Amino acid sequence: MIIDLNCDLGESFGAYTIGQDEEMMKYVSSVNIACGFHAGDPLVMAQTVEQALKHDLNIGAHPGLPDLQGFGRRSIHITPREAYALVQYQVGALQAMVTAQKGKLTHVKPHGALYNMAAKDRDLALAIAKSVCDIDESLVLFGLSGSELTKAGTETGLKVAHEVFADRTYQSDGSLTPRSLHDAVLHDADRVEEQVLRMVERQEVMTVTGDVISIQADTICLHGDNVEGVRLAKRLREKLV
C-alpha cells in the first residue's frame, strides 16, 4: 500500500510568514503551493518550488479564490467560466516556475472555499477539471473523497486522487465541517492519528454526529498553518510507515 501525505505550503506573503514549510517538507510526499490569489507571491512561489525540488517532492498547484484578506476561505460567487480562467491562470504561473527550475508539475488541488464549492457544485467542478485537463492531461486532480470534483476529474479523463483530511472533522454527507464551527479542526495528536489510521485501514471516518461513513483515502492532507502541523506530520509519517 502506498499513501500520499500532502501539505498546503507557500502561503507566506511579502513580510508575513505562515507555516513552517521546510520542516513540513521533511515528512510529506507531496506539496500544494499557493499561487498568489489566496496566499503566496511570486518570490514565495519560486522559493517554495526550490525547496520542494531539493526534498524530491511531488509539486502541485494550489489555486484559490482571489481573496488574500480572507485567505481564500470565504465563499465568493463565480461562474464556471470564471473558475476555468482563474484556475488556468494560477496553475500556469506555478507551472512556469517549476519548469524554469527543471522540475515537473504533478498535480492540482483547489484551495479553501473554491475546493469546498467544487465538492458540491457539478458545473464548477467540471469547469475546474476541464481547465486542468486543457493545461496538461497528465496532471492529477486532488479532490475531496467522493465529491463532485473527483467525479468531474474522472469524467474529464484526468487521474484523480481522493483526498482525506488528517486534522479536519467531517459532516454526515462527507463534507468537511465549516471552519466557522468550533470543532472543525483537530488539534489532539491522538485523535488525528486515530482518524487517519481508520481512514487508511478501514476506508471510513466517524463524523461529528457519530455516524460512520465510507471514504476513499488516496492522499492525506495536513495543514501547514496548523500550529501542531510539523509534530503531527512527523508522528503520522512514522505511524504510516
For residues 166 and 219, give the distance between their C-alpha atoms in angstroms, rounded to a whole number.
10
Model confidence at 227, pLDDT cuts 50, 70, 90, reads low
For residues 187 and 178, give the distance between their C-alpha atoms in angstroms, rounded to a whole number.
16
- Which whole number is the average pLDDT over 129-150? 98
Q: Residue 196 corresponds to which amino acid?
A: V
pTM above 0.85, yes or no: yes
Q: Residue 126 corresponds to which amino acid?
A: L
Look-up: residue for cell 521546510?
22
Taking a C-beta distance cutoff of 8 angstroms, is the pair 146, 203 a contact? Answer: no
Tally helices (H) and strands (E) across the chain.
8, 9
Angle at which helices 42-54 and 80-100 cross, to 10°: 60
pLDDT of residue 226: 63
Which triple of cell numbers denotes residue 38?
Answer: 489566496
Residue 221, beta-bridge partner list: 6, 165
Domains and CATH numbers, the chain: 4-168+216-226 (3.20.20.370)
Which triple of cell numbers denotes residue 194?
Answer: 486515530
Dihedral Cα 158, 165, 49, 111, nearest 10 deg: 70
Model confidence at 19, pLDDT cuts 50, 70, 90, reads confident
For residues 153 and 200, give the distance between their C-alpha atoms in angstroms, rounded to a whole number.
22
Q: Following DSSP, what letter does each residue of 169-195 receive, concatenated? A: -B-TTSPBPPTTSTTSB---HHHHHHH
Instruction: Express as a percent the part of the chain with pLDDT over 90.
Output: 87
Instruction: Express as a percent the part of the chain with pLDDT over 70.
Output: 98
For 169-226, what is each residue's pLDDT tens digit? 999 999 999 988 988 988 888 999 999 999 999 999 999 999 999 999 999 998 766 6
Residue 228 pLDDT greater than 80, yes or no: no
